Structure 1
Amino acid sequence: MFYDKIYNLWNKIKKEIKFLCKTEPILVNFYNKNLLKRKDFADALNYLLSNKFADYFISFSTIYSLIKEIYIDSPFIVDFALYDIKAIYHKDPIVDKYSTPFLYFKGYHALQAYRITHWLWDKHRYSLALYLQNKISSLYAVDIHPAACIGYGVMFDHATGIVVGETTVIENNVSILQSVTLGGTGKDNFGNRHPKVREGVYIGAGAKILGNIEIGKESKIGAGSVVLKSIPPNSTAAGVPANIINRSNFSD
């Protein structure tokens, strides 16, 4: 069943691009190389990331072969990438095409690139994971430690300045705006020292969430807030330091 969903979304993306080829012929070569000539979504995503990662030290073919190996070993990574596109399409009011985040959104690109570094980190290939993390940070101004754990349906909106620490957990369907830090307090050097962001959380631009604290399911963090203590589910927190300003009734 999920294969059908992937196939349908991939077909929708290609249909959009064929239409765009007619409306903007200057970009036909760009559309062809990135999407229309790719055999499937995994190949298209691999092609996009390999072009971003390739440099003087690592060739396109080397990184392409590596990512292909990763997608074969862990196909759920490709599934997650599709969930991320669907989440952006439904959450971001400016997005009216599935192809838009895939082609143009650096938050989406940075997240998919992180998934490659996370696979490498889990395989104890720490040096390559850190090398690529540095590339991601330089390319996108998004710094995600390869050891962080991030779910699917995640939206990094605008994305510039997002920092995600080593022991951070970001669950499914979370939305994070630009200049957000999920970091440590500086008091702990080992163990769990970064936030745990539960499903469906929204974090406004410029918010700083620091320490081994939990942001409860479906909660909202106001822009510019500094959060130093756990926030319960279904709550809204704002301020410096952040305090709960609204809490909805909920039941587990």
Structure 2
Amino acid sequence: MTNCLTKFVWLPYKAWIKYRFYKESVRLEFSIPLNCFEPGLSIARYGTITIGNAKVGRNCRLQEGVNIGSTGRGKTAATIGDNVFIGTGAKIIGDIAIADDCVIGANSVVVKSITEKGITVAGVPAKKVSSNNSAPYIDSRLDH
């Protein structure tokens, strides 16, 4: 919303939208900055979701309890590709990159970049566990 409607006449509307966004984020227990997700974000259930200064691609699906943030030394968080499924309670920490079509397993902690497309990672720290991609978890209608 902050990257469009730039004319002066839209300022009251933008202020109203920001206010509604804030109220809903408090009610639903999430902290997601504006304009960090591309189109197609899907949040399966509301619950504590915290996103730092991350850049996330199209058609990302988040479960509850997900944290994406930076380390204490950095200000930027992860760059996540398109069609990524992030399971319940997963943590993605640091200035890392995650390739397209990946699955991050439940309660995984990802601290290193995932460069291979279409794999499943899980564990603490997260490691490749299979070559299954995110297709079963992403709504196929979003690709159009």
TM-score range, shorter chain: 0.7 to 0.9
Secondary structure (helix, strand or coil) at the match of 1:244 reads: strand
Distance between the aligned counterparts of 2:13 and 2:21, measured in 1?
15
CA deviation string 1:171-200 (max 9, x = no partner) = 111111000001112122x4xx20111100
* TM-score, normalised by the number of residues in structure 1: 0.44
The one-letter code matched in structure 2 to 1:144 is: I
Distance between the aligned counterparts of 1:172 and 1:160, measured in 2?
21
Q: CA RMSD in A?
A: 2.6
- 1:157 paired to 2:44: yes
Q: Which has the larger radius of gyration?
A: 1
Distance between the aligned counterparts of 2:43 and 2:132, measured in 1?
25
Distance between the aligned counterparts of 1:136 and 1:198, measured in 2?
26
Correspondence for 1:198 among 77, 81, 87? 81
Correspondence for 1:245 among 117, 129, 133? 129
Asked whether the equivalents of residues 133 and 143 of structure 1 are also in contact (C-alpha less than 8 Å), the reply is no
Distance between the aligned counterparts of 1:133 and 1:165, measured in 2?
16
Correspondence for 1:212 among 90, 95, 106? 95
Correspondence for 1:223 among 96, 101, 106? 106
Distance between the aligned counterparts of 2:132 and 2:91, measured in 1?
23
Q: Report what 1:10 is aligned to.
A: none
Q: Report what 1:177 is aligned to.
A: 63
Correspondence for 2:23 among 117, 132, 135? 135
Q: Which structure features the higher share of strand residues?
A: 2
Q: Which structure features the higher share of helix residues?
A: 1
Distance between the aligned counterparts of 2:20 and 2:77, measured in 1?
22
Asked whether the equivalents of residues 164 and 182 of structure 1 are also in contact (C-alpha less than 8 Å), the reply is yes
Question: Cα–Cα, structure 1 residues 217 and 145, in superposed 2: closer, same or farther, change >3 Å?
Answer: same
Displacement after TM superposition at 1:134 (Å)? 4.3
Q: Which runs of 4+ in 1 moved over 6 A?
A: none
Asked whether the equivalents of residues 227 and 240 of structure 1 are also in contact (C-alpha less than 8 Å), the reply is yes
CA deviation string 1:112-156 (max 9, x = no partner) = xxxx54xxxxxxxxxxxxx6664333111011123x521111101
Secondary structure (helix, strand or coil) at the match of 1:149 reads: coil
Asked whether the equivalents of residues 133 and 145 of structure 1 are also in contact (C-alpha less than 8 Å), the reply is no
Secondary structure (helix, strand or coil) at the match of 1:245 reads: strand
Uncovered stretches (5+) of structure 2, i.e. residues with no partner: 1-11, 134-144
* TM-score, normalised by the number of residues in structure 2: 0.74
Displacement after TM superposition at 1:248 (Å)? 6.0
In the alignment of these two chains, the number of paired residues is 122
Q: Report what 1:46 is aligned to.
A: none
Flag the structure with more relative contact order, 1 or 2, with Cα contacts below 8 A and sequence separation at least 6: 2
